[in-house]
Homo-oligomer: A and B are copies of this chain.
Amino acid sequence: MAKEETLPQPVSTMTPAQLERRRRLTDTVIEMIDQMGPEQLQMRDVAERSGVALGTAYRYFSSKDHLLAAAWADWQRRLTDRVRAEVSRDASRNRSAPGGACTRVQAFLSRETRAFQRHPNFARLVAYVEVSSDPFASEELAGLRSDNFATLVALMDGVPADVVRPAMTAINATLGSGLTAWICGRLTFADFSRQLEEVVRLILGPYDQA
């Protein structure tokens, strides 16, 4: 009688039609989040607007948290890809500075945070998802985390190996906390980005014009 319920169907075993449905769900969330916070967003509406039956949505995602986490991961990856491309393009054109690690990281973060400023509900989404205890949601986060890891490591060359890890930890944390504080009204956006800059300069400043 093992009620294994392996879970919301592993992505790898999905047929193309299923992947398509799954994508419609996450895309719809991304679309809707732009206009409402994660708590306003209702499963019923997502289902309806994506043209997937509510019950079916739950075959793909274990919970609202899981769906939101997946959608966020998706959005974040697109954003990061775009920003990374811009930053490295600017760097290779050698625009605007010689560019040490500090400068590069600043540029990267400033673009990312601006994206959040333009889409505050995604910042809310981050806050919402980060505290979710749904293990499937956490899994989604973990994947994303390691992507970010790679990205930041790449931006930090010229920085001693034993500095990289704690530097990333601290910067990521400052980004995350600041975002939440901003979104909850405990910090203005200006203060948030100033804080972030200060922290990056403090940590990475010494390695800049290597």
Residues on A facing B (Cβ under 8 Å)? 127-128, 130-133, 135, 138, 141-142, 145, 163, 165-167, 169-174, 176-178, 180, 184-186, 195, 198-199, 201-203
> Which B residues are in CB contact (< 8 Å) with A131?
127-128, 130-131, 180, 184
Alpha-carbon distance between A174 and B199 when the two chains are bound, in angstroms: 12
Alpha-carbon distance between A178 and B166 when the two chains are bound, in angstroms: 12
User: 25 A-B residue contacts at CB 8 Å?
Assistant: A128-B131, A130-B131, A130-B180, A130-B184, A131-B131, A131-B180, A131-B184, A133-B184, A135-B185, A141-B186, A142-B186, A145-B186, A166-B195, A166-B198, A166-B201, A169-B174, A169-B198, A170-B199, A172-B177, A173-B174, A173-B176, A173-B199, A176-B177, A177-B177, A202-B203
Quick check: A199 and B138 within 8 Å, CB to CB? no
Quick check: B184 and A178 within 8 Å, CB to CB? no
Indicate whether A199 sits within 8 Å of B145 (C-beta atoms), given known contacts A127-B131, A133-B184.
no
Shortest Cβ distance from A153 into chain B, in angstroms?
A: 15
Quick check: A138 and B185 within 8 Å, CB to CB? yes
Give the residue of B166, B186, B198 whose beta carbon is less than 8 angstroms from that of A202: B166
Closest B residue to A132 by beta carbon equals B184
Give the residue of B165, B167, B178 whose beta carbon is less than 8 angstroms from that of A173: B178
List 9 tightest A-B contacts by C-beta distance, closest first.
Answer: A173-B177, A166-B198, A173-B173, A173-B174, A166-B202, A170-B170, A127-B131, A170-B199, A166-B199
Alpha-carbon distance between A93 and B174 when the two chains are bound, in angstroms: 35
Quick check: A138 and B169 within 8 Å, CB to CB? no
Shortest Cβ distance from A73 into chain B, in angstroms?
A: 13
> Which B residues are in CB contact (< 8 Å) with A127?
131
Closest B residue to A163 by beta carbon equals B202
Alpha-carbon distance between A176 and B170 when the two chains are bound, in angstroms: 11
Shortest Cβ distance from A111 into chain B, in angstroms?
A: 20
Alpha-carbon distance between A138 and B182 when the two chains are bound, in angstroms: 11
> Which B residues are in CB contact (< 8 Å) with A138?
184-186
